[in-house]
């Protein structure tokens, strides 16, 4: 992969780095603690993102990446400024192999390889698994997949439009490997939601 950092047309990061990162980090914790909850990311947190990236996806990665993290970009994002934007603002390393990534950004469900291709950690180090940020066309609570598990009282429902028909079966396999497995953030144009590996998904 070309490692030259192209700064032409590079979007700004958080206007207020401390406020922005803390706000989005709290959003991420809230989403992971309450699977299926859809959390709006206000435009004031991050005004813009590179072409092909939703603002919430960019905000999640700006808050979570640093110079010690390895990021894999799905094919649709490799030719634009997404990599340069994230490398410049976070110091992360872009990697070619999905299995070596700590974080993943997929432009869409169609651009996402099977979940089994990503690092799931090990019995001794389950925390060494990949965190995926997958963009979708819309996020809606109260419909779609039926969710249960830690952080959910009885049931929750989440619709992530554009993720694809095979995600539910792949997620069942991912969850079966607990404590290993990937965690997923979904990002629409204005919101985020999360599925930690402990969540059971049906439908």
> Does 6 map to a domain?
no
Residue 21: predicted pLDDT: 93
Supply the CATH number for residue 59's domain: 3.40.50.11310
Residue 16: predicted pLDDT: 85
> Does 2 map to a domain?
no
Share of the chain above pLDDT 90, in %: 87
> Does 173 map to a domain?
yes
Residue 192: predicted pLDDT: 98
* Range(s) of the domain holding residue 94: 17-197
Residue 48: predicted pLDDT: 85
> Does 1 map to a domain?
no
Residue 7: predicted pLDDT: 54
Q: How many domains does the chain have?
A: 1
- Which tens digits make up the pLDDT trace of 14-67? 888 888 999 999 999 999 999 999 999 999 888 889 999 999 999 999 999 999
> Does 3 map to a domain?
no
Residue 47: predicted pLDDT: 80
> Does 192 map to a domain?
yes
> Does 161 map to a domain?
yes
Residue 108: predicted pLDDT: 97
Report the alpha-carbon distance of residue 111 to residue 10 in Å, rounded: 23
pTM value is 0.93
Mean pLDDT by 10 residues, the chain (203 residues): 54 84 97 97 89 96 97 95 94 96 98 97 95 98 96 96 95 96 98 98 90
> Does 139 map to a domain?
yes
Residue 151: predicted pLDDT: 96
Residue 8: predicted pLDDT: 53
């Amino acid at each position: 992969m070309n490692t030259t950092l192209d700064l032409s047309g590079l979007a700004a990061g958080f206007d207020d780095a401390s406020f922005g990162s803390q706000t989005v980090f709290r959003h991420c914790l809230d989403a992971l603690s309450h699977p299926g909850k859809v959390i709006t990311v206000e435009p004031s947190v991050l005004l813009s993102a590179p072409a092909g990236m939703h603002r919430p996806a960019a905000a999640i990665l700006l808050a979570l990446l640093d110079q010690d993290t390895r990021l894999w970009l799905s094919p649709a994002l490799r030719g634009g400024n997404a990599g340069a934007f994230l490398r410049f603002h976070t110091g992360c390393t872009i990697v070619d192999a999905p299995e070596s990534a700590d974080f993943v950004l997929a432009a869409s469900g169609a651009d996402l390889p099977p979940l089994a291709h990503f690092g799931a950690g090990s019995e001794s180090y389950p925390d060494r698994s990949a965190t995926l940020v997958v963009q979708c066309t819309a996020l809606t609570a109260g419909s779609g997949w039926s969710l249960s598990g830690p952080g959910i009282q009885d049931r929750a429902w989440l619709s992530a439009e554009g993720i694809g028909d095979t995600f539910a079966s792949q997620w069942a396999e991912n969850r079966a490997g607990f404590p290993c497995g990937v965690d997923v953030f979904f990002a629409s144009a204005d919101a985020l939601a999360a599925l930690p590996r402990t969540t059971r998904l049906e439908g």
